[in-house]
Structure 1
Amino acid sequence: MIVDWAATAMLVVFVVAFVAKARSAQAFDDFAPSLSQFGIGSITAQRFTAAAVLGLEAVASVGLLLAHHPLVRFALPIALLAVFSAGVALGARAGRLSACHCFGTSTTLPTRPHLALNGSLAALGCAAVLAGGAAGSTGESVLGIGLGIITGVLFVGSADLYTALSTAGTAPGRGAVSEKVG
């Protein structure tokens, strides 16, 4: 069950991330400059790196779908999450974080929750590698896939959920949770 859960959750996250950046020239153009937060200064290097990220996300998605050996299936997604997390942490330390446009327009998530999400998704992948490729029952597979879809959607919508549930920085009449609607 954990292998199906991890693979499905990661697949949702990586497919949505790929589509969000590749859906239009404008989406790609919004993503590429956000790589400056990782210390990539020139526009040419940002665009090259953005294209490489798209390629790696596509390869990771295909591997999650088609690979059977757990290490082959999860190594690239786990490595990408580790690299993205290191970039976010280093960017935050240097004071140059910006919206990454990883999943679309609403991608402002504070550093700690961002790192916690990436870390927990990578940990789920590591648990799947440790669990191996043992096939469970059909019911366990269906449960794992269902949990993976739910987990993946929650990860993808994490910035929106954070914004919707956060009361920090809201002024009265500006969306504070305590305000009456209507």
Structure 2
Amino acid sequence: MNGSTRRDGNVVAGAPEASAGTGRLEEWAGWFVRVLAGLLWLTATLKMISVLQGDPVLRWRDPVFQVPNRNLLVLGACAEWAVAAYAVWGGRLWRKVALIHGLAACWLMYRGLLKLSGFKGYDCPCLGPVVRDLPFEEGAWSVLLGWMAWGTFLGASLLLGAHAWRQARSNLEPGGDGAGSAGGG
């Protein structure tokens, strides 16, 4: 690659390379952010479609927050759309990864609280006609969403950890100015 990476993760053409592989981490992080933005947009849209379908389970109270499921789905969809929008049109790459990481941490905390509450799921086809017509059981969707949450959290953790490690290494190099040659965030 002929260029160096700025603090915001963008490559400056024609500038000397800071170190080998500087842009590779940003490339992986960029792909991660783009894929997650699409998944977040999709899941938020499916949540809102489910809300509009008006299934009876949406009037029931969530076992963790004790608010109607409809309100929780709307809040979750809006949060996912906001994170997806920032991931597409927002500023710095590493802030995008950190925001996705934070959202995944919230998902996992919520799922943990559901488990601690003893919640076993609703005995109904609750996810609406969009999901209900697919050839999967309701429990399979919960497992899939759980794996997606863990994968998102672990992927963002690895990317942020690698970014922090690279920052720390660049600060230890001779002539390191403490800002890191490929930092940003």
TM-score, reference length from structure 2: 0.54
Q: Which amino acid aligns with 2:35?
A: A
Change (3 A) 1:94 1:30: same
Q: Which runs of 5+ in 1 are unaligned?
A: 133-182
Number of aligned residue pairs: give it.
129
| SS of 1:108 mapped into structure 2 | helix
The higher radius of gyration belongs to 2
Q: Any residues of structure 2 matched to 1:44-123 within 5 Å, and which?
A: 46-98=69-121, 101=127, 104-105=131-132, 107-109=138-140, 114-123=145-154
CA contact (8 A) 1:81 1:119 kept: yes
Quote the sequence identity (%).
Answer: 11
Shift of 1:60: 0.5
The aligned residue for residue 125 of structure 1 is: 156
Deviation digits for residues 149-174 of structure 1 (CA, Å, limit 9, x no counterpart) = xxxxxxxxxxxxxxxxxxxxxxxxxx
Contact 1:74-1:125 within 8 A present in 2 as well: yes
Q: Deviations over 1:14-54 (max 9, x none)?
A: 011111012364446578458724x23243xx433322212
Give, in whole Å, the separation in 1 of the partners of 2:101 and 2:119.
24
CA shift in 2, pair 1:101/1:78, >3 Å: farther
Change (3 A) 1:34 1:104: farther
Judge conservation of contact 1:35–1:50 (CA < 8 Å) in 2. no
Q: Aligned pair in 2 of structure 1 residues 16, 63: CA closer, same or farther (>3 Å)? A: same
Greater per-residue helix proportion? 1
Displacement of 1:75 in angstroms is 2.7
Do the aligned residues in 1 keep the contact of 2:90 with 2:96 (CA within 8 Å)?
yes
The superposition leaves residues 83-107 of structure 1 with CA deviations (integer Å, 9 ceiling, x where unpaired) of 1111112212322142674983455
Structure 1 residue 12 corresponds to structure 2 residue 44: no
Stretches of structure 2 that go unaligned for 5 or more consecutive residues are 1-26, 164-185
Q: Output the amino acid matched with 2:65.
A: I
User: 1:101/1:30 Cα in 2 relative to 1: closer, same or farther (>3 Å)?
Assistant: farther
TM-score (norm 1): 0.55
Distance 2:54 2:162 in 1: 37
Specify whether residues 18 and 97 from structure 1 end up closer, same or farther in structure 2 by C-alpha distance, changes over 3 A only: same
Higher relative contact order (CA 8 A, sep 6+): 1
Whole-angstrom CA distance in 1 between matches of 2:95 and 2:161: 12
Name whichever of 81-90 and 122-131 sits farther off.
122-131
Change (3 A) 1:53 1:80: same
TM-superposed CA distance for 1:109, in Å, is: 3.5
Question: Could you tell me whether the CA contact under 8 Å between 2:104 and 2:149 is conserved in 1?
Answer: yes
Contact kept? 2:47, 2:74, Cα under 8 Å: no
